[in-house]
Amino acid sequence: MEFEIEERVDGESTSIPIKDEPTVEDLRKKLLSHSPWLPSCCIFRVPEVIRRQKIEAYQPNIVSIGPIHRNHRAEKFKLFEDVKRWYLHCLLSSSQYVSLESLIKVITELGKSARDCYAYPLDDLKEKDFVEMMILDGCFLLQLFRKAHFCVVEKDYDPAFDVSCTREHLHHDLLLLENQLPWSVLECLYNLTANCPSEEPSLTYLVLNFFRQSSGDELMLTHSFSQSRKILHILDLVRTVMVNGFEEKLDEHVGKKQKKNELNLPQRIPNATSLSEAGIKFRKSQTKGEGGCIMNIEFKKGVFTIPPLVIDERTEPLFRNLIAFEQCHYFRLHKITSYAVLMDNLIDSKDDVDFLCDKGILANWLNADDAAQFFNKLYNDTTVRYYYSDLSNDVNKYYKTKWHRFMEILRSDYFSTPWRIISFIAAFILLVLTLVQTLYAIQ
């Protein structure tokens, strides 16, 4: 491709053609010999197509963890940047086994593998700044979780525990996809800073204990699980607990279809109130013991059994970030996304929310209309490999059977109260007597 530039020579303009074609070497230097995302990538920027649905659900309020929001550590993060430095000082001064030198040495050795966990370039972040960030942020998290577990009361004022609204903000911020540290960093720092490892609870217990603030968190996070899968970060730990018990049951169920790369299209089912009118019963399942996760939803013999779920201000950001994580990470299947799709099917309006609250399946701390909208918009602009397709097919088959609808009308119209039952029996006896009297009259 040729262009012309104008040059003045002795007062006269002259056009000089120049070439602006890329050379082979220029282009070769820009090529990549590997994927820009490494297999170890597990901390992502939320894709813009998902973020735009509700921007505030993906942004930290008071504390920035890791490098994603490092260049945006505005005034709202300044207080907890100071808290991080204070917590690290407290940790070093209270431990006789750990020094700042040992922390720097260990995290420096982890530096390359930790950087590889982030699915975007960190070229502008120097190694010493990255190591410093991992130490400050990691030790802050560990001190926070330990204080919450051991109920440590500082003589000095602690903004993390002495301001009533701070705990809510921390719960929100520490479960954001963009606000994660590699689990390997946390685990390394935890092992290095444990004063008495035999008496201190496990790291997973400390983390989950911190988020058990309400009954809703108890339902999602207390049942036992075996940590057979490698944990990637705190958000991944929470997801692992939430899908535990559901995973083995469904992997066997849909494995053949997935191996054939067949798209398992979700089949919509009617909302909860419509299903109820068709004779389908709804019951709250127990969530205690193994396999008692919120995702273990069953439909058998016309009965929907659903584990209870608390909906409050923290529920939507948690689910949105879990879904964003599933959308980005290749090896984390669309299980939370599938749950969101099924609940969206069941909840179309506030009437469905009220109905499921009456059944004890939902505990709603939001406006009923807001709760309905929460499920309706939760998974917009995502893709899903649906894990409840067989359940949905069974529900639709039952719903379309006219006999079930007829029996439900009979039950609701004639057997819903003792007086209606008595009236029905009396009418039936009267009908029988009338028929007998008619037969005798004919004879």
Distance, CA of 313 to CA of 35 (rounded, Å): 38
Render pLDDT for 243-301 as a digit per residue (tens, 0 to 9): 887 854 444 444 444 444 455 555 789 999 999 988 899 999 875 544 468 889 999 98
| Residue 165, token pair as written in the block | 């609204």
Least confident of 116-130, 364-378, 391-405: 391-405
pLDDT at 142: 96
pLDDT at 7: 55
Band the pLDDT of 153: cuts 50, 70, 90.
Answer: low
Amino acid at 266: P
| Residue 335, token pair as written in the block | 């299980």
Beta pairing partners, 304:
282, 299
**DSSP letter, residue 442:** H
Distance, CA of 66 to CA of 130 (rounded, Å): 9
DSSP 268-336: ----HHHHHHTT-EEEEPP--STT--TT--EEETTEEEE--EEE-TTHHHHHHHHHHHHHH-TTS-SHH
Distance, CA of 225 to CA of 232 (rounded, Å): 16
pLDDT at 421: 59
Torsion angle, CA of 292/348/400/258, rounded to 10 degrees? Answer: -50
Mean pLDDT to the nearest integer, 351-375: 91
Q: What is the mean pLDDT of the chain?
A: 82
Mean pLDDT to the nearest integer, 382-399: 90
Mean pLDDT to the nearest integer, 152-171: 84
| CB-CB contact of 267 with 392 (8 Å) | yes
Q: How far is CA 177 from CA 105, 236, 327, 351, 405, in A?
A: 28, 9, 11, 33, 45
Global pTM reads 0.82
Mean pLDDT to the nearest integer, 176-200: 90
pLDDT at 23: 77
- pLDDT of 382 > 80? The answer is yes
Interior angle at CA 97, CA 93 and CA 102, nearest 5: 90
| CB-CB contact of 331 with 307 (8 Å) | no
- Mean pLDDT comparison of 227-236, 238-247, 355-364, highest-scoring range: 355-364
- Mean pLDDT comparison of 64-68, 216-220, 403-407, highest-scoring range: 64-68
The long-range contacts involving 125-129, CB below 8 angstroms and separated by at least 24 positions, are 125/67, 125/70
Among residues of the chain, what percentage have pLDDT more than 90? 46
- pLDDT of 428 > 70? The answer is no
pLDDT at 12: 60
| CB-CB contact of 171 with 314 (8 Å) | yes
Band the pLDDT of 178: cuts 50, 70, 90.
Answer: very high
Among residues of the chain, what percentage have pLDDT more than 70? 76
pLDDT at 252: 45
Q: Which position has the higher pLDDT, 293 or 17?
A: 293
Band the pLDDT of 200: cuts 50, 70, 90.
Answer: confident
Buried b (16+ CB within 10 A) or exposed e, 229-268: eebbbbbbbbbbbbbbbbbeebeeebeeeeeeeeebebee
Mean pLDDT to the nearest integer, 200-227: 74
pLDDT at 269: 94
pLDDT at 219: 57
- pLDDT of 235 > 90? The answer is yes
Least confident of 173-177, 184-188, 331-335: 331-335
Rama region for 2: left / alpha / beta (φ>0; ψ in -120 to 50; rest): beta
Q: What are phi and psi of 17, to 5 degrees?
A: -75, 140
| CB-CB contact of 245 with 296 (8 Å) | yes
pLDDT at 28: 76
Mean pLDDT to the nearest integer, 74-100: 90
pLDDT at 437: 73
Which distant-in-sequence residues (6+ apart) come within 8 Å of 76 by Cβ? 61, 62
- pLDDT of 16 > 60? The answer is no
- pLDDT of 240 > 80? The answer is yes
Cα radius of gyration rounded to whole Å, the chain: 30
